[in-house]
Amino acid sequence: MQERENKFELLKGDKVLWSVILLISFFSVFPVYSASSNLEYIVNSGTTTSHLIKHSFFVVLGLAIMRGVGYFKYEHIGKLSSYLLVFTIALLGLTMFSGQTIDGASASRWLKIPGTPISFQPSSFAYLMLIIYLCRYLTKKIKRERLPIENIFYIFGPVLLVFGLVAKDNGSTALMILMVSLIVMLIGQLDKKYIFGFVGLSSVMIGIFMFLALKTDLIGSNRVHTWMSRVETFTKKENQIEDEADKAKNYQVMQAKAAIVHGGITGMGPGKSALKQMLPQSASDFIFAIIVEEYGFIGATVLIALYLIMIIRIVMIASKMPAFFGSLLVLSLGTMIFMQLTVNIAVAINLIPVTGQPLPLISYGGTSMLVTYIQLGIILNVSSRIQVYDEEGMGKKQSIEEINDIA
């Protein structure tokens, strides 16, 4: 009877993590509703009400998907990851020929489902499936000496393939794919000589890509010149930005900084941002600046504290999980979320050059939000299994046979 109750428990998994997710999800409605007026009056896309309804729909859908993931064993998700990775890589290839433009974004970032108005970003799903695949492969082969050709084909190959397909139009996501993959290899106890080999091979691939994009016409419609311009603008001091071209390139950063300063300690109040109409992507990439302006330093601190609690709970779940695959999977997915969170905030406060990374669970946009809910759903799934493993008497340390069997 107890087992049946646990199976159909509404909030299955870590209750603290559930609470933090629900709080951030509920809060996201307010800044998105406020900042979406930029889409209505500046971009001439929809109305604030329609954007509010759309965002609320994705929040509810995401929470439902997150809970739905709990009905599947996370081991089965790992076993399916190789097939899903192949499928999402095929979708990435398809976007190169039939990608859609969404609100001025790069044309091949989005893929439209035929016969529907729905568009999504295959890169986000490919990124997720790649990390799950790496976790399972590293678990299955944790102590067996691999031949170099195996690492090249089964580890380096998928990572560099996804990187190459994503890098043409989304450089920041492509670099995050390499960085998180490297972290997964380190946590997954891949031999150090292969780690160094991956770093070297990745550096060569990046160099070749940059050369072909900047010096030849082999990679058409790429955004490398845009990235270089952003880095150049970022490295210039404010007193060096004098001509109109440089001011235009630095416009987003200046407006974001102005919004943060305008917010002060207590903020202007919900919906009272004065700069949301002048800040491009105020509902997505730069929504943190709007949050600081409307809710002040205090509001931003509370939000960051919630994110920190989320990350701490993820680390605690990983540390308590006796199954190596579950622990590695939780840490890897947590790293993805932490990386995206850090990059978004760092851009808003001008610590790094401008990139297009959304704020997890808050920024307006369906694909990224749903992927984050899937990540958290898997983490909650793993957390719900900790008690089961304890009841089955599984120790904190697993034998190699147990590790290979469970993945």
DSSP 141-164: TSSSPPPHHHIIIIIIHHHHHHHH
**Phi and psi at residue 279, in whole multiples of 5°?**
-100, 110
pLDDT tens-digit profile of 180-189? 999 999 998 8
Higher pLDDT, 102 or 202: 202
Dihedrals phi, psi of 102, to nearest 5 degrees: -120, 115
- Rounded mean pLDDT of the chain? 82
**How many residues are there in the chain?**
407
- Binned at pLDDT 50, 70 and 90, residue 288 comes out as very high
Mean pLDDT of 379-386: 90
| Amino acid at residue number 267 | G
Residue 105 has what DSSP assignment? -
Q: What per-residue confidence (pLDDT) applies to 387? A: 63
Categorize the per-residue pLDDT at 4 as very low, low, confident or very high, splitting at 50, 70 and 90.
very low
Q: How large is the average pLDDT for residues 65-81?
A: 90
Angle between helices 171-187 and 192-215 (to 10 degrees): 170
Torsions phi, psi for 112 (to 5 deg): -95, 135
Residue 287 bridge partners (DSSP): none
- pLDDT at position 150, please? 83
Instruction: Read off the pLDDT of each residue in 217-240 and give the average, rounded to a whole number.
Output: 68
pLDDT at 345: 93
Q: Is the pLDDT of residue 172 over 50?
A: yes
pLDDT tens profile 91-102: 988 887 765 555
DSSP collapsed to 3 states, 238-285 = HHHCCCHHHHHHCHHHHHHHHHHHHHCCCCCCCCCCCCCCCCCCCCCC
pLDDT score for 23: 97
pLDDT at residue 246, rounded to an integer: 55
CA dist 134 → 7, 62, 128, 397 (Å): 28, 24, 10, 21
Mean pLDDT computed over 57-71: 93
Look at residue 18 in the predicted model and tell me its pLDDT: 95
**241 band by pLDDT with thresholds 50, 70 and 90:** low
pLDDT (mean) for 65-87? 91
Give the distance from CA 311 to its chain's centroid: 14
pLDDT digits 0-9 by tens, 108-120: 477 777 766 677 8
Amino acid in the structure at residue 231: V
pLDDT of 339 over the 80 cut: yes
Confidence of residue 135 (pLDDT cuts 50, 70, 90): very high
The SS3 assignment for 337 reads helix
Measured CA to CA, the distance from residue 339 to residue 401 in angstroms comes to 33
Instruction: Return the percentage of the chain with pLDDT > 90, whole number.
Output: 39
% of the chain residues with pLDDT over 70: 80
Report how far residue 26's alpha carbon sits from residue 353's, in angstroms, rounded to the nearest whole number.
Answer: 30
Residue 301 is predicted with a pLDDT of 96
Q: Does residue 121 carry a pLDDT above 70?
A: yes
CA–CA dist 90, 242 (Å, integer): 46
Q: Where does the pLDDT of residue 259 fall: very low under 50, low under 70, confident under 90, or very high at 90 and above?
A: confident
> CA-CA distance, 373 to 310, in Å (whole number)?
13
Identify the pLDDT of residue 86.
95
Q: What is the structure's pLDDT at 338?
A: 96
Cα separation, 153 vs 117, in Å, equals: 37
**pLDDT tens readout for residues 12-54:** 888 999 999 999 999 999 999 888 877 766 666 768 888 889 9
* pLDDT higher at 326 or 281: 326
What number is the average pLDDT over the span 279-283? 79
Q: Buried b / exposed e across 97-131, counting CB within 10 Å, b at 16+?
A: eebeebeebbebbbbeeeeeeebbbbbbbbbbbbb
Q: How far apart are the first and last CA of the chain?
A: 28
Q: What is the pLDDT of residue 107?
A: 41
Please determine, for residue 395, whether its predicted confidence score (pLDDT) is greater than 70: no
